[in-house]
């Protein structure tokens, strides 16, 4: 993405951000309940809540007007690969979940948010840039907390991280590719 986005393109991308944050909220919240390591359970529960908060922030920035798609219309999966990546991420042992989350998903999300900031319009996008700055700051805080947990649990780099990276690569990152206005793919998130 190297150019400012139209209003509909921006709404579509914001909806995909919201979907990813909501999907991670659900996936990590469920996974936290099944951790054998209490430290990992506490971290994943907190990370899940952070995803929910960020999804709420994104929803507040979705454009609202007659004739524009609703928040529910915009909140769609960016790709089947993202959905598969979340399944792969949360299916392993506690240390594998942490490795995939901290080593693959979170860096890819941060890169996607930074890419959008770089393409922002100075005239139209200051609220989006502020939103993305908040998302990045919170994601960075959650990543730093996770690094402490990973060091405590001696998390190795492994197959889960590589599987998540490969799936995200095939799906054009966690947020997918920019679509033409009106073009829809993926499932709608349940909110």
Digits of tens for pLDDT over the chain (191 positions)? Answer: 567 788 888 899 999 999 999 999 999 999 999 999 999 999 999 999 999 999 999 999 998 888 888 888 889 999 999 999 999 999 989 999 999 999 999 999 999 999 999 888 888 889 999 999 999 999 999 999 999 999 998 888 888 999 999 999 999 999 998 764 444 444 445 44
Distance CA 141, CA 146 (A): 9
Right CATH for 7-170 from 1.10.10, 1.10.3470, 1.20.1260, 1.10.287 = 1.20.1260
Element (H, E) at 130: helix 126-153
**What is the reported pTM?**
0.89
Q: Say how many CA atoms lie within 13 Å of 69 toward its Cβ.
A: 22
- Could you tell me the residue ranges of all domains in the chain? 7-170
């Amino acid at each position: 993405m190297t150019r400012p986005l139209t209003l509909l393109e921006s709404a579509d991308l914001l909806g995909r951000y919201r979907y990813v944050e909501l999907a991670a909220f659900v996936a990590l919240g469920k996974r936290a309940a099944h951790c054998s390591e209490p430290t990992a359970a506490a971290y994943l529960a907190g990370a899940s809540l952070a995803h929910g908060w960020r999804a709420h922030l994104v929803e507040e920035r979705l454009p609202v007007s007659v004739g524009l798609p609703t928040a529910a219309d915009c909140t769609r999966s960016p790709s089947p690969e993202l959905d598969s990546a979340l399944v792969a991420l949360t299916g392993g042992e506690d240390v594998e979940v942490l490795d995939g989350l901290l080593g693959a998903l979170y860096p890819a999300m941060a890169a996607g948010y930074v890419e959008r900031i770089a393409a922002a319009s100075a005239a139209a996008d200051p609220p989006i840039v502020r939103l993305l700055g908040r998302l990045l700051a919170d994601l960075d805080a959650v990543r730093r907390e996770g690094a402490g947990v990973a060091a405590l649990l001696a998390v190795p780099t492994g197959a889960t991280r590589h599987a998540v990276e490969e799936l995200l690569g095939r799906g054009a990152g966690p947020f997918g590719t920019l679509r033409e206005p009106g073009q829809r793919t993926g499932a709608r998130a349940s909110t």
